[in-house]
Amino acid sequence: MKVDHSRKRAHGPGYRVAVDVDGTLYAGPWTQADEFTGPPTTDDAIPFLQRELAAGHEVILHTCRLTPEYPWCTWPVDQYRDPAHVIAALRAWLIHWGLSPADTERLHFWTHAGKPSADEYLDDRAVRFEGVFPRRPLCSQ
């Protein structure tokens, strides 16, 4: 059974694209919650954001790196985990790699657990659903 994608909302103003930061947009390393010292994952990462914004799409950058409940989040809860501080660091990183300051102001940021509401999601951990659930070996208990 194929999924009917014809019900998707048309591209244009108001179309929402959520882009995961860690592993999708930003290649790492991951040292502090507010540090973005490495490059984008691909040469097309920043141009992609530029194209989406130019098309009038709403772009949401999301990361769970500030969620203290997650067991893999080992950063201490301090000023470096402050969302405003991390967003400012991410904006500076985007500008360093070629996104205009004006474009960084048009971005939306989601800095906690869960996914924002969007028409499309770009995430390095995603699996596209095509109407058939993936079959995997059962994990031993």
Give residue 102's pLDDT. 98
- Which ranges of 1-141 would DSSP assign to H, the alpha helix? 45-54, 83-96, 101-106
Residue pair 40/26 in contact by the 8 Å Cβ criterion: yes
The pLDDT tens digits for 54-77 are 999 999 999 877 766 655 565 565
Residue pair 110/18 in contact by the 8 Å Cβ criterion: yes
Give residue 40's pLDDT. 96
Reported as a pLDDT band with limits 50, 70 and 90, residue 3 is very low
Q: What is the domain partition of the chain in residue ranges?
A: 12-122
Q: What is the mean pLDDT of residues 42-49?
A: 97
pTM for this structure?
A: 0.81
Reported as a pLDDT band with limits 50, 70 and 90, residue 1 is very low
The pLDDT tens digits for 77-123 are 565 567 888 899 999 999 999 999 999 999 999 987 778 999 999 99
Average pLDDT, the chain: 84
**Pairing assessment for the beta strands 58-62 and 120-122 based on DSSP bridges:** unpaired
What is the CATH architecture of 12-122?
A: 3-Layer(aba) Sandwich (3.40)
Comparing 27-41, 66-80, 125-139, the range with the smallest average pLDDT is 66-80
SS3 content of the chain, % helix, strand, coil (to 5): 25, 15, 60
What sign results for the dihedral spanned by CA atoms 45, 50, 51, 56? positive
The more confident residue out of 62 and 14 is 62
Q: Which two tokens stand for residue 40?
A: 């984008």
Distance in angstroms between the alpha carbons of the first and the last residue of the chain: 32
CA 7 to chain centre: 24
